[in-house]
């Protein structure tokens, strides 16, 4: 057996030093091992040549199986690298933007994205180059942040002024019991970086306000709003519209949630077109007042992450000019059409023609 392995090493590395092409060396190895297996299968037991080449075909078959697995994996990695670097399978046929190459670990991690026809290598590079801000690290923000990080969004900002409380852990799954008392943005950052060290997480432990919103939003391509109060939602919408940033907004209570993409620069309504005024006190109680089933924020937050991935990569049809409503108690979903209002004080003067389906963020 040592003789055969030595001969195989001589063919491979000796041939490499001699300048023999890789394909020829592979063919010689195939011939060598085919001959060894033929010897093991045809010669009687105890034959000197059979004993000199291992004495059994089983060991060589196992060795060849392992080599085939390794070779197949290497070929798959090369194919993924080619698709990631050329973007040839991505929609639209555009030339890929300049970006740092993916590492072997990243290619393996994002392989299920890269093989998707709608995303491909170009889409994954767009995710890597994207900058997404999530407002709120609570019920909706927790799953959205986790999936954005897992998907490979390159830079993720999260702003929240709250600290982790025991009552949060029933639904805000990014936080753990040991994080109680820690600012949510730092708890979320630790969980995201532990899940995917290839993303950059920027925590902002402060309340979003008129003074800081515009400067903060300007650094990002896409905004996700997972807040639980109307004053912040209107602020997020106003600044996003002013800076022409697409906004993915979610809301929930008890067993029901809703999600929409607000992007008036591409023909859709803004949040205030749909909700011109905040409801009177008591008509829209908070989760603390009305309650919420624990997995519901995970469903809606994951949907927000899906819309974000679609917005960035150009895949599929966005929930622009539509609202998806999910009823967890009865397992029902429905979609309603939304229209922009020409008299909207926020976006009424900037309505444009609808953009093509799947347009990516600027």
Contact present, 190 and 99 (Cβ < 8 Å): no
Q: Cβ-count burial of 107 within 10 angstroms (0-12 exposed, 13-18 middle, 19+ buried)?
A: buried
Percentage with pLDDT > 70 across the chain: 80
Q: Is the dihedral of CA 151, 157, 163, 168 positive or negative?
A: negative
d(CA 318, CA 322) in angstroms, rounded, equals 8
d(CA 296, CA 302) in angstroms, rounded, equals 10
318 pLDDT above the threshold of 60: yes
- Position with higher pLDDT, 125 vs 358: 125
d(CA 157, CA 212) in angstroms, rounded, equals 14
Per-residue confidence band for 85, with pLDDT thresholds at 50, 70 and 90: low
Cα–Cα–Cα angle for 41, 47, 51, rounded to 5 degrees = 80
Per-residue confidence band for 14, with pLDDT thresholds at 50, 70 and 90: confident
From 139, 142, 176, 135, select the one nearest 158 (Cα to Cα): 135
Q: Can you list the positions of beta strands (E) in the chain? A: 131-135, 155-159, 200-204, 222-225, 247-253, 256-262, 322-327, 332-337
Predicted confidence at residue 357, as pLDDT, reads: 44
- Token pair in block for residue 353: 């023609």
Per-residue confidence band for 21, with pLDDT thresholds at 50, 70 and 90: confident
Q: Across the strands, what pairs with 333?
A: 326
Query: Assign residue 55 a region: left if phi > 0, alpha if psi is -120 to 50, beta otherwise?
Result: left
Contact present, 36 and 53 (Cβ < 8 Å): yes
From 56, 65, 107, select the one nearest 83 (Cα to Cα): 107
Q: So where are the chain's domains? A: 2-84, 130-337
Predicted confidence at residue 284, as pLDDT, reads: 67
Residue 12: count of CB within 10 angstroms of its CB:
15
- Token pair in block for residue 166: 């025991």
CATH topology of domain 130-337: Rossmann fold (3.40.50)
d(CA 326, CA 292) in angstroms, rounded, equals 13
Query: Assign residue 98 a region: left if phi > 0, alpha if psi is -120 to 50, beta otherwise?
Result: beta
Q: Across the strands, what pairs with 259?
A: 250, 324
Average pLDDT rounded to a whole number, residues 57-64: 70
Whole-model pTM: value is 0.72
Predicted confidence at residue 151, as pLDDT, reads: 97
From 319, 290, 294, select the one nearest 170 (Cα to Cα): 294
Average pLDDT rounded to a whole number, residues 253-261: 95
pLDDT tens figures, 182-240: 999 999 999 999 999 999 999 999 999 999 999 999 999 999 999 988 999 999 999 99
Average pLDDT rounded to a whole number, residues 61-73: 71
Predicted confidence at residue 88, as pLDDT, reads: 44
pLDDT tens figures, 31-54: 777 777 777 677 777 677 667 666
- Average pLDDT of the chain, as a whole number: 85
Predicted confidence at residue 18, as pLDDT, reads: 77
Average pLDDT rounded to a whole number, residues 251-256: 94
Query: What stretch of H or E contains 81?
Result: helix 57-86
Average pLDDT rounded to a whole number, residues 49-62: 68
Average pLDDT rounded to a whole number, residues 5-31: 73
């Amino acid at each position: 057996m040592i003789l055969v392995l030595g001969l195989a090493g001589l063919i491979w590395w000796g041939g490499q030093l001699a300048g023999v092409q890789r394909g020829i060396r592979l063919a010689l190895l195939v011939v060598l091992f085919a001959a060894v297996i033929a010897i093991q299968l045809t010669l009687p037991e105890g034959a000197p040549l059979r004993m000199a080449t291992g004495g059994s075909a089983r060991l060589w078959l196992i060795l060849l199986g392992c080599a085939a697995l390794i070779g197949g994996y290497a070929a798959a990695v090369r194919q993924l690298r080619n698709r990631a670097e050329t973007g040839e399978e991505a929609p639209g046929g555009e030339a890929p933007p300049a970006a740092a190459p993916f590492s072997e670990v990243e290619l393996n991690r994002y392989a299920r994205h890269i093989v998707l026809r709608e995303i491909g290598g170009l889409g994954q590079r767009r995710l890597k180059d994207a900058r997404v801000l999530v407002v709120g690290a609570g019920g909706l923000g927790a799953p959205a942040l986790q999936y954005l990080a897992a998907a490979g969004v390159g830079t993720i900002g999260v702003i929240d002024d709250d600290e982790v409380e025991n009552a949060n852990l029933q639904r805000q799954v990014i936080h753990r019991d040991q994080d109680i008392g820690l600012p949510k943005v730092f708890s979320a950052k630790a969980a995201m970086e532990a899940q995917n060290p290839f993303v950059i997480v920027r925590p902002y432990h402060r309340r979003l306000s008129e003074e800081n919103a515009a400067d903060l939003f300007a650094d990002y391509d896409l905004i996700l709003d997972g807040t639980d109060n109307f004053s912040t939602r209107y602020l997020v919408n106003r600044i996003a519209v002013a800076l022409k940033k697409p906004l993915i907004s979610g809301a929930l209570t008890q067993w029901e949630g809703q999600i929409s993409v607000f992007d008036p620069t591409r023909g859709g309504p803004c949040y205030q077109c749909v909700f011109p005024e905040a409801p009177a006190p008591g008509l829209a109680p908070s989760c603390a007042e009305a309650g919420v089933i624990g997995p519901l924020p995970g469903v809606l937050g994951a949907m927000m992450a899906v819309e974000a991935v679609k917005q960035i990569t150009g895949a599929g049809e966005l929930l622009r000019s539509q609202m998806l409503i999910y009823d967890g108690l009865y397992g029902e979903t429905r979609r309603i059409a939304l229209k922009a209002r020409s008299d909207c004080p926020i976006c009424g003067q900037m309505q444009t023609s609808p953009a093509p389906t799947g347009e990516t963020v600027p």
